[in-house]
Amino acid sequence: MLSRRECLVLAGSAAALSLGSNAARAAEAPTVRTPADFQVPPGGCDCHVHVFPDPAQFPFWSGRIYTPPPATPEDLLALQKALHMDRVVIVTPSVYGTDNAATLYGIKALGPQRARGVAVIGPSTTPAELDAMDQAGIRGIRVNLETGGVTDPAVAAKSLEAAVGSIRSMPTWHMQVYARLSIIAALKGRLADVPMPIVFDHFAGAQASLGVGQPGFDAVLDLVRSGKAYVKISGAYRASTKLPDYPDTAPLARALVAANADRIVWGSDWPHPDSAVVPERKPTDIAPPMAVDDGRVLNLLAEWVPDAVIRHKILVENPARLYRF
């Protein structure tokens, strides 16, 4: 159910951030060390970011596995300007559990012309609360089919059905799915039958070193080809260890675009906290940011997709359709 903070944000409380004066004081985006080397089209959208405002106002979930450093809406606006992006999709990360207050705060701060969101909900979330989130800019839910490390397809199928039921009253929403390729392959038929679009984030969990022939990637391509699923070509550093340009991700990106350019979107995955479980680091310790150059990663899109018309679909047309800009 909506927390008190979520209700305050939705009601437009005085606690919501106004970027009118703060934007002028926002620091330059420190993660953009390389300028864009192609023309980013007007209306371009970064479809996967998170915000981590003041934890005194937006506390983290007690069951989290890491604690990120601050990443405010002002910081996000600075990133948007540095990347020449006009739109953004804020996704509720795992560190907040099912509390979407920080995401709603970020959407309100950046405004309805620029920002949309993807929420994480619980079994007690009501249709009225979903309607309120829709009015606030939420356009879908994020579903983890491997909660607790469980990778049993039968368990994942039950989680999928529960998620479908939870947003059946929201016909314009989508379901963003986190699952490894083996789960996607096992549930391919069920995923094709759900009554809302499916969105796979971060190359659908494919590992670049295994190439386009890795088990399960064909299932993703089939779902994309049919128009049922979108894929975010985002978080290249999650798919590849070959920094800073992650060249082995190029075949994955090109295969996805070739399958159906109308079902591909791009995301930076900013602000890149190190979410890995490290024995010497407690979940409550601040995780250091990863060394990701968001400008350099954006430039990879022009290498993966040299055709400006197709890039326009990926950056502008597809997000506008999926997130209702």
> Domain total for the chain?
1
- Per-residue pLDDT, 150: 60
- Per the domain annotation, does 189 fall within a domain? yes
In a domain, residue 108? The reply is: yes
Domain for residue 269, yes or no? yes
Catalytic-role residue among 269, 274, 285, 293: 269
Any domain includes 59: yes
User: CA-to-CA distance for 300 and 66, rounded, in angstroms?
Assistant: 29
In a domain, 27, yes or no: no
Rg for the chain, CA atoms, rounded: 18
**Catalytic: 285?**
no
| Residue span of the structural domain in which 146 resides | 4-17+44-323
Write out the two tokens for 233.
């070509």
Give the integer Cα–Cα distance in Å for 221 and 223: 5
DSSP 8-state secondary structure symbol assigned to residue 67: B
| Helix (H) or strand (E) segment spanning residue 297 | helix 294-304
Closest-CA residue to 52 (of 273, 238, 202, 282): 273
- Tell me, yes or no, whether 24 lies in a domain: no
pLDDT in tens, the chain (325 residues): 455 455 544 444 434 444 544 444 344 899 999 999 999 999 999 999 999 999 999 999 999 999 999 999 999 999 999 999 999 999 999 999 999 999 999 999 999 999 999 999 999 899 999 999 999 999 999 999 876 566 789 999 999 999 999 999 999 999 999 999 999 999 999 999 999 999 999 999 999 999 999 999 999 999 999 999 999 999 999 999 999 999 999 999 999 999 999 999 999 999 999 998 889 999 999 999 999 999 999 999 999 999 999 999 999 999 999 999 9
Matching residue, tokens 């890039």: 311
Q: Supply the DSSP string of 130-171, one letter for each residue.
A: HHHHHHTTEEEEEEETTGGG---HHHHHHHHHHHHHHTTT-T
Quote the pTM value.
0.92
If DSSP codes are grouped into helix, strand and coil, which group holds residue 116? strand
Residue 1 neighbours by CB distance under 10 Å: 13
> Cα separation of 234 and 38, whole Å?
18
Instruction: Locate 224 and state its tokens.
Output: 């994309």
CA distance 177 to 154: 16
- Residues 167 and 141 sit within 8 Å (Cβ to Cβ): yes
The domain spanning residue 75 has which CATH number?
3.20.20.140
Tally DSSP H helices, then E strands, for the chain: 14, 8
What are 45's two structure tokens? 């959208």
Which distant-in-sequence residues (6+ apart) come within 8 Å of 51 by Cβ? 71, 72, 73, 76, 90, 102, 103, 105, 106
